[in-house]
Amino acid sequence: MYEGFGEGEPYAPPQHDVLFGDIFKASFMLDVFVREDTKPLGGGDLPANLASKFGKWISQRVDGDEAIGVYSPALTPNRETRFALAHTTFRAASDSPCAILLSDSCLVATSLVQGRQRRSVGGRLLFAPLSTVSAEKWLSLTQQQDFGRFPLPADRRLPEHTVAEMGGCFMVDARDVKNHADSRVLSLGEALAEELEVRWDAYATRRGPLAYGRNTLKLASLLSGGGQPAAQQQAAADAIADTLDLAFFIEGSDLEAVSAAEEQARIFGGKPEVLAPPLTAAIVTHLRDLAALAAAAADRLEAS
């Protein structure tokens, strides 16, 4: 488990394009969430010359020479700005919030118009806030499966014992992500990005290697009458997991390569007759391997 800690460099410098797993550090990357007291707010910026006077009215000291925002559900909401009352997880004032991008790279490319023609930036992208935990908790998260919390390897550009909190996801307007692409501090290396994808699949859909790995283990326990699985039942469960691993690879690698090639042909003028043959050959090989693994798994399960 958690192979990304041991394979190559866990991080890479941010690339030109924004990608799944990029880590942003910016003051507006707040863990914002809606509760039942959410209300549309009217209002706007109060000029600086009135800000200090307003502060006295509400027994607050307002320093500086900048305008401040004043909003209330008692004021008529402005449909153009669309402000609303919500909640957020507060951090120390000296800390700039960090968050990791969980929208897949294809959606990101479409929303931010990366390599796309005749489109405009739009939509929202999904982020998970980053938090810090104790050293003991961080270590336990690297050793045990917790679908909703993803511990990140140490790096000088991150606080110690950083964890991605997938249970606290929030969305950011794509326009602001585009405008703050230079707020990225890190991208994930290939192996660590795959680990995050597996963990996110398990959390969001209860699918993928973590989910079926746990469920095949439960199957082995059932076949053994409960408790610790016997060797034969464990072998049957492992054979099922091996089959699903290859199916997961075909979906997430082979077919993703097909998607990239089709886009290359449709948008950039690539030649389908050149792009298709190696992709087809790889899929044929893996499908034949998948059939063999599935047959072997069925035999082991039937024997159990």
- Given this model, what pLDDT does residue 60 score? 83
- Given this model, what pLDDT does residue 78 score? 84
Q: Which positions ≥6 away from 31 have C-beta within 8 Å?
A: 88, 89, 97, 99, 129, 165, 168, 170
Taking the CB of residue 236, how many other CB atoms lie within 10 A of it?
A: 25
Write out the chain's pLDDT in tens, 304 residues: 444 455 578 999 999 999 999 999 998 998 889 999 999 999 888 888 888 888 888 888 887 778 888 898 999 988 888 889 889 886 655 568 999 999 999 899 999 998 776 678 999 999 999 999 999 999 999 988 789 999 999 999 999 999 999 999 999 999 999 999 999 999 999 899 999 999 999 999 999 999 999 999 999 999 999 889 999 999 999 999 999 999 999 998 999 999 989 988 988 889 999 999 999 999 999 999 999 999 999 999 999 8
- Given this model, what pLDDT does residue 119 score? 79
Contact 70, 44 (CB under 8 A): yes
Place of tokens 């609303």: 84
Backbone angles phi, psi at 271, to 5 degrees: -95, 115
Closest of 200, 102, 101 to residue 146, by C-alpha: 200
Tokens of 120: 């405009």
CA distances from 28 to 24, 80, 89, 228 (A): 10, 20, 12, 49
- Tens digit of each residue's pLDDT (9 = 90 or more) over 55-83: 888 888 887 778 888 898 999 988 888 88
Contact 101, 18 (CB under 8 A): yes
CATH topology of domain 1-33+90-205: SH3 type barrels. (2.30.30)
Contact 3, 195 (CB under 8 A): yes
pTM of the model: 0.84
Tokens of 13: 């410098």
Contact 192, 20 (CB under 8 A): no
Burial class (CB in 10 A: 0-12, 13-18, 19+), 186: buried
